[in-house]
Amino acid sequence: MSKLIRHIFIILFIIAAGYESFAQASNSLVQRQKITPAPVRDKKGTNKRLEAAHDRFISQRLNLTDEEATKFWPTYHQYQQELTAVRILKRLNNSSEAANGTEQIDKEIYYESQLVGIRKRYRDAFSKILPTEKVSKLYKSEQEFNDELIKQLSERSERAGN
């Protein structure tokens, strides 16, 4: 059951990242037309709040010095952007109804290997900035954050009667 919830969270996170891109494109169009749609602004704000909570959680867990933080955050945000880009491609692959089954599975495996490759590459980059104990704690903290978010979403869903 926890694997299912984890997969649901990953999908929700990818969708939220996609909404941000959509919101940015929509906002430029909306600004030209002088219209302010509330739902687009709300989705973008929700995503920003989630990112801020994630950053606070990671920061608290890692207990970064000022020097470490200055070097770490730009690299970490780049890491997150690369992961998000691959997750979006993976989601698009999974949403394709006309795709050949074998081809779709091969692409799924390819995207998973891309995610692992990004994690390995950034593990080395993070190791140049942080002690290895903090790098290990970073990866564990990301999983803890995801688990906690899934837990809270499940509790809210139960309270709402879903």
Q: Looking at the 3D structure of the chain, how many domains does it have? A: 1
* 158-162: average pLDDT: 78
Q: How many CB atoms lie within 10 A of CB 54?
A: 17
Query: At 43, phi and psi to the nearest 5?
Result: -60, -45
Convert the pLDDT of each residue in 84-115 to its tens digit. Answer: 999 999 888 887 665 677 888 888 899 999 99
Which residue carries 């104990």 as its tokens?
Answer: 133
Q: In percent, how much of the chain has pLDDT > 70?
A: 69
Range of the domain at 74: 2-160
- How much is the pTM? 0.66
pLDDT, tens digit, for every residue of 118-131? 999 999 999 999 99
